[in-house]
Structure 1
Amino acid sequence: MPMILLIVIIGAAAGFLATRFMQVKADVPTTIAIGVIGSVIGWVILRVLVAVTGAAAMFVGAVLGAVFLLWLWQQYKAK
């Protein structure tokens, strides 16, 4: 139950700010609904971006790790 309350409070605040930024006149229930639905949409978009960025970061890390390992191997092989 507390999580639902938190979602409604954050959604209400987000809806309030969004309606002010977009200069839209809406009643309180509509503002809360816009905020809650918008925060769910935003959460999904951020989760996808983090997943994609995480995969890209893992790839970059793998390449850097392989380059470092090759450098170490060349240093060991040269001696």
Structure 2
Amino acid sequence: MPIILLIIVGAAAGFLATRIMDVRTDVPTTVAIGVGGALLSGLLMRFLLTIGSFAFGAIGAVLGAMLVIWLWQRLSGRG
């Protein structure tokens, strides 16, 4: 089922992309353009989300450590 859905979405995306870019192609080429674009953008989005999640995780870890230090200082009377 995912392959059929990819072809359908790819055909629609390829059709829209070829019309927006004013490129006239046959149906198989249009579908191939759409499927290729869907695969490329999917990989790019996964890459960006992975890097983003790593960066946000690192920022969250630093903020969490700062909170622990602040709590420790307040509770131990060192601050």
TM-score clears 0.5: yes
1:12 aligns with 2:11: yes
Stretch deviating more after TM superposition (45-54 or 21-30): 21-30
Output the CA distance in 1 between the equivalents of 2:38 and 2:19: 16
Q: Structure 1 stretches of 5 or more lacking a match? A: none
- TM-score with structure 1 setting the length: 0.92
Following TM superposition, the consecutive aligned residue runs of length 4 or more in structure 1 with deviations greater than 6 angstroms are: none
Q: Secondary structure at the match of 2:2?
A: helix
Which residue in 2 is equivalent to 1:74?
A: 73
Matched pairs, number? 78
Shift of 1:10: 0.7
Q: Structure 2 stretches of 5 or more lacking a match? A: none
Which residue in 2 is equivalent to 1:34?
A: 33
Shift of 1:66: 0.5
Identity among equivalent pairs (%): 49
| Root-mean-square deviation (Å) | 1.2
1:51 aligns with 2:50: yes
- TM-score with structure 2 setting the length: 0.92
Shift of 1:35: 0.3
